[in-house]
Homo-oligomer: A and B are copies of this chain.
Amino acid sequence: MTSDASSDTPSSPSSHGDGRHHPTGSGAPGGKRTGLWLVGARGAISTCVVYGIAGIRHELIPMAGLPTAFPPLSEIDLVSLDNLVLGGHDVCTRDLSASAGELVAAGILPADLVSMARDDAARYESAIRPGILDVAETGFRDLDPRAAALGSQPPLEQTKAIEADLAAFQADHDLERVIVVYLASTEAASTRQDAWDSTADFEAAVADGVPQPASLLYAYAAIRSGSPFVNFTPSIGANVPALIALAESKGVPIAGNDGKTGETLLKTALAPMFRARALQVLAWQGYNMLGNRDGEVLRDPNHKAAKLETKDAALRSILGGADGVGAGGEDRFHSQVSIDYVPSLGDWKTAWDFIHFEGFLGTKMSMQFTWSGCDSALAAPLVIDLARFADLAARNGESGVLGHLGCYFKAPLASQEHDFHRQMQALYSYAQQQPSKADQ
């Protein structure tokens, strides 16, 4: 192990030949490394990303859960984990070890991994900068005062501050490029602004000091910097015509929104089965419970609304529509999703779904499932996958929305396809067109 998360020395290529613990891949020509900038840098997902990458390097954990570590995706020439350098923004001051401690107590992070990755964590922590606070946020317990100060600046100043941090990170570590992944807590739902419809109007509004959601400014800053931007949250991010157009014109790849990690993943994997068998879904009720910081934020009805919107749309899209079961019965379809804060569950999202459906002879049947998943452990490897694919796209010169990454999102940008299996087909097709590692 000759390289580390944020040392200034480019790593030598991985010397591990077994292919089991080390999904190798090239970096940029000349061995340059790629930065992975996590917004929400001290949150549970980021913590899992940091320790997870360290754990794989130290061969302390299996690669389970990381799709790009397994065929057929592992055959693509993606940036290796050794060539990823981590940093990020956060608005809170709490120490990464506090996040890690919670995850250990919850049985998610192994205690020995936290000990052995102490140096990796410290280097990452030294690369965290105060982020910008969303204009609508209030009452954070451990707010970074510099973040608070930034939050009261005009939007253009905020944007420039982000850009400066990204540029410094890239320079400090001599990075080929920096991938920005937005992981901050769900923002309150915000009123759509007319200016979001065109790049020019949006840039004028920002220049005029019209307040903007934080996720939008992060996306804006990343795209202006030429940094690929991935939004793993339901917040708005780059999902406005102004920014999609800007990404295209600037040649910057973007992807989002809202990582598909748990209940929605299941829904979009199961619903196609009901459609394929012409079973008419009468009701699909989804009850989610969680107890982490994300859950706390969702206690606020405004945040909850933003989150629920993306959770429900996928289902209707698969089951309904002109050519499916819904054709004759769409109006009978009843669907509901709720999210409740249950403190004792911590990061263990527990969801119960009940599906009532009608089959042949009008017979009413049902199925139900309970999902007990650890949200952060499900999300973190997808963040790594997305960073690797965004890096590849930038290397390939792809720009705008990366349509082949729809399988990772609850609300894929510029797409109506929610069927998980069709989304995977699209990704596998893309993968087949890429040069394989063997060719390098």
Q: Label chain A's interface by main secondary structure.
A: mixed
Q: Are the C-beta atoms of B354 and A276 separated by less than 8 Å?
A: no
Asked if A360 and B342 sit within 8 Å, CB to CB, the answer is no
Contacts of A373 in B (CB 8 A): 359, 365, 367
CB-based contact B361/A51 at 8 Å = yes
Given contacts A338-B338, A342-B334, contact A360 B324 (CB under 8 A): no
- Check: A250 CB closer than 8 A to any chain B CB: no
The verdict on A360 contacting B48 (CB below 8 Å), with A344-B283, A350-B354 known, is: yes
Number of interface residues of A (CB under 8 A): 84
Whether A278 and B354, one on each chain, are in contact in the complex, defined by CB atoms closer than 8 angstroms, is no
A176 within 8 A of B: no
Q: Which residue in B63, B108, B280, B369 is a CB contact (below 8 Å) of A367?
A: B369
Flag whether A374 is at the interface (Cβ < 8 A): yes
For residue A171, CB closer than 8 A to chain B, the reply is no
Can you show 9 pairs from A to B with CB atoms below 8 A apart? A52-B361, A64-B359, A108-B361, A265-B277, A277-B378, A278-B381, A332-B343, A350-B366, A367-B373
Q: What is the bound-complex CA distance between A365 and B362, given in angstroms?
A: 20
A407 at the interface (CB under 8 A from B): yes
Which B residues touch A63, using CB under 8 A? 278, 328
Contact A352 B64 (CB under 8 A): no
Report B-chain residues with C-beta under 8 Å of the C-beta of A364. 344
A344 CB contact (under 8 Å) in B282, B338, B363: B282
Q: Is A61 an interface residue (CB 8 A)?
A: yes
A314 to chain B, nearest CB (A): 14
A369 and chain B: residue at smallest CB distance: B369
Inter-chain contact B266/A424, CB cutoff 8 Å: no
Residue contact A363 to B377, C-beta cutoff 8 Å? yes
B270, B287, B362: the one within 8 Å of A269 (CB): B270
Q: How far is the CA of A356 from the CA of B369 in the complex (A)?
A: 13
User: Quick check: is A35 within 8 A (CB to CB) of the other chain?
Assistant: no
Q: Which 3 A-B pairs have the closest CB atoms?
A: A65-B360, A282-B344, A421-B421
Q: Taking A48-B360, A327-B70 as contacts, is the C-beta distance between A65 and B277 under 8 angstroms?
A: yes
State which of B279, B378, B422, B424 has its C-beta within 8 Å of the C-beta of A359: B378
A20 on the B face (CB < 8 A):
yes
- For the complex, is A36 an interface residue (Cβ under 8 Å from B)? no
CB atoms of B367 and A372 under 8 A apart? yes
Q: Which of A64, A369, A420 has the largest number of chain B CB atoms within 10 A?
A: A64
